[in-house]
Structure 1
Amino acid sequence: MDYQVQELLPPGTVALEDLQRNEIILQPTPSDDPEQPLNWSVGRKTVNYVIVCFYALITFTL
């Protein structure tokens, strides 16, 4: 990233796009760890989403 562009950003922020190379900067940078939720299979994500929704439903109804 260009130093001048980084200098213009408010403290504590990061650029999400590099305009010179026309690409998106992923923040945080994804890893290859299979236990990271971004790398889960669609089925595993669905099961976890259903569990969270069920827990919220039970909590709400009680």
Structure 2
Amino acid sequence: MLKNRKSECIAKIKELEQEARSYADDENQELYYNLANVWRTKVDTLNFAIWNFEEIILRST
């Protein structure tokens, strides 16, 4: 489930970056790149959760 969510977040990042490139003005580009950075933070959090979950499983076996 976490890995699926991570894939969804990565797809959203790509979508936001593509949207950013479609704007000619810097203000809109910056907005979409900042939104992509928020989604990158979500991916980082999911990476940590996945790693933590795997560690717990390894220790319990």
State the TM bucket, normalised to the shorter chain: 0.3 to 0.5
- TM-score scaled by length of structure 1: 0.36
Larger strand fraction of residues: 1
Normalised TM-score (structure 2): 0.36
Larger Cα Rg: Structure 1 or Structure 2?
A: 1
